[in-house]
C-alpha cells in the first residue's frame, strides 16, 4: 500500500511525495476531496489505476476502428475500377478507380510515349486527363482532317447491374468532351466509343495493345487480313478503319453501312458496333 504526503492539490488532482522519495501525480476519490496539503494518503484514498486504464482501452479500440476504416477506404481508392483506352495514332490506356481518379497511364506505342513525355497524369480526374489529352493531341498536330479515334472502356471491378450502368455513364460523360475538343465543322472526324470485356482487355494487354485496337485487330483478322501484332501496334486507327470499310464494301457491295457513320459523333453504324463487341 503506497503511502505519501500531499504536496499540492487542485480539486481532486494532487501531487504526493511517496515514502520512497518519488513524486507521483494522483487523483483522489470523490469521498477524499476534502484532504488538504500536508496530509498523508495511501491507496484507499486514490482512484484505482485499473479504472484509469479503461478510457485508454476504449480510446485505443476506437483509434483501431478508425484506422481500419481509413485503411479500407484508401485500399478501395487504389483498386482499379475501369480501364479507358484512347486510340488515334498514339495508343494510351488509363486505369481509374471507382471515383474516376487516374491511377496509372500506359503508353502503348512510340507515338504515345512521345505525346506523354514525362508528364505525371496520376491523381487527376478522368475528365481532367481527357482534357489534357486533347490539348496534347492538338499541340502535337496529331488530329488530321477526317481523323478517327476509338475510346474503349472496360470495367474491372465486380459490380451489380445498376452500379455498372452508373459507372459506364460516368465514364462516357468524362470522355465525351474529347469529341467536341478534337472535331468541329471544319475538322470533322470519326469518334467511336466501345466497351470491351475484362477478358478481352487482359488479352490485349498481354500483346501490348489497347482493348480498342485489339478489337479492331481481331475484326481485321476475322475479315481475312493478315497483319502482325507489331504492325497493329503502329497502325493508325484511321488505316485500320479504312481496311474494315474496304472489307465491308467487298462483302456487301450493295449495302455498306460503314459509309453511313456519322462524323464527329459518339456511336456509329450498327455494323461497327457489332464487329467490335464480338
How high is the pLDDT of residue 77? 61
How high is the pLDDT of residue 21? 72
How high is the pLDDT of residue 199? 93
* pLDDT above 50 (res 116): yes
Helix (H), strand (E), coil (C) string for the chain: CCEEEEEEEECCEEEEEECCCCEEEEEECHHHCCCCCCCEEEHHHECCHHHHHHHHHHHHHHHHHHHHHHHHHHHHHHCCCEEEEEECCCEEEEEECCCCEEEEEEECCHHHHHHHCCCCCCCCEHHHHHHHHHHHHHHCCCCCCCCEEEEEEEECCCCCHHHHHHHHHHHHHHHHHHHHHHCCCCCCCEEEEEECCHHHHHHHHHCCCCHHHHHHHHHHHHCCCCCCHHHHHHCCHHHHHHHHHHHHHHHCCCCCHHHHCCCCCCCCCHHHHHHHCC
Average pLDDT over every residue of 57-67: 55
Q: What is the pLDDT of residues 154-189, one digit of tens each?
A: 998 888 889 889 999 999 888 887 777 777 655 566
* 3-10 β-sheet, strand order: 23-27, 13-18, 3-10, 40-42
How high is the pLDDT of residue 238? 82
Report the range of poorest mean pLDDT among 38-42, 90-94, 173-177, 273-277.
273-277
Q: Residue 278: which pLDDT band, with cuts at 50, 70 and 90? A: very low
Looking at CATH, the fold of the domain delimited by 3-63 is given as OB fold (Dihydrolipoamide Acetyltransferase, E2P) (2.40.50)
**Domain boundary assignment for the chain:** 3-63, 77-276
How high is the pLDDT of residue 260? 36
* pLDDT above 80 (res 95): yes
How high is the pLDDT of residue 201? 93
* pLDDT above 70 (res 80): yes
Amino acid at each position: 500500500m503506497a503511502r505519501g504526503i500531499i504536496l499540492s492539490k487542485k480539486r481532486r488532482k494532487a501531487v504526493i511525495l511517496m515514502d520512497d522519495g518519488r513524486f507521483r501525480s494522483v487523483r483522489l476519490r470523490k469521498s477524499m476531496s476534502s484532504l488538504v496539503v500536508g496530509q498523508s494518503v495511501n491507496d484507499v484514498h486514490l482512484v484505482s489505476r485499473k479504472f484509469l486504464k479503461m478510457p485508454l482501452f476504449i480510446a485505443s479500440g476506437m483509434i483501431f476502428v478508425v484506422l481500419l476504416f481509413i485503411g479500407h477506404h484508401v485500399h478501395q481508392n487504389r483498386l482499379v475500377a475501369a480501364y479507358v483506352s484512347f486510340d488515334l495514332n498514339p495508343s494510351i490506356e488509363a486505369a481509374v478507380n471507382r471515383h474516376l481518379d487516374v491511377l496509372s497511364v500506359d503508353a502503348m506505342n512510340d507515338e504515345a510515349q512521345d505525346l506523354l513525355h514525362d508528364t505525371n497524369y496520376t491523381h487527376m480526374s478522368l475528365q481532367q486527363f481527357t482534357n489534357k489529352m486533347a490539348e496534347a493531341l492538338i499541340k502535337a498536330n496529331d488530329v488530321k482532317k477526317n481523323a478517327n479515334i476509338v475510346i474503349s472502356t472496360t470495367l474491372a471491378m465486380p459490380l451489380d447491374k445498376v452500379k455498372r450502368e452508373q459507372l459506364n455513364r460516368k465514364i462516357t460523360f468524362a470522355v465525351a468532351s474529347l469529341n467536341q475538343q478534337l472535331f468541329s465543322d471544319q475538322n470533322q472526324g470519326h469518334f467511336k466509343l466501345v466497351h470491351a470485356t475484362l477478358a478481352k482487355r487482359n488479352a490485349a494487354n498481354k500483346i501490348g495493345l489497347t482493348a480498342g485496337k485489339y478489337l479492331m485487330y481481331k475484326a481485321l483478322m476475322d475479315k481475312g487480313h493478315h497483319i502482325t501484332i507489331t504492325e497493329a501496334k503502329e497502325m493508325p486507327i484511321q488505316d485500320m478503319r479504312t481496311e474494315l470499310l474496304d472489307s465491308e464494301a467487298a462483302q456487301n457491295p450493295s449495302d455498306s453501312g460503314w459509309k453511313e457513320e456519322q462524323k464527329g459523333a459518339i456511336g456509329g453504324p450498327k455494323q461497327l458496333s457489332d464487329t467490335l463487341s464480338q
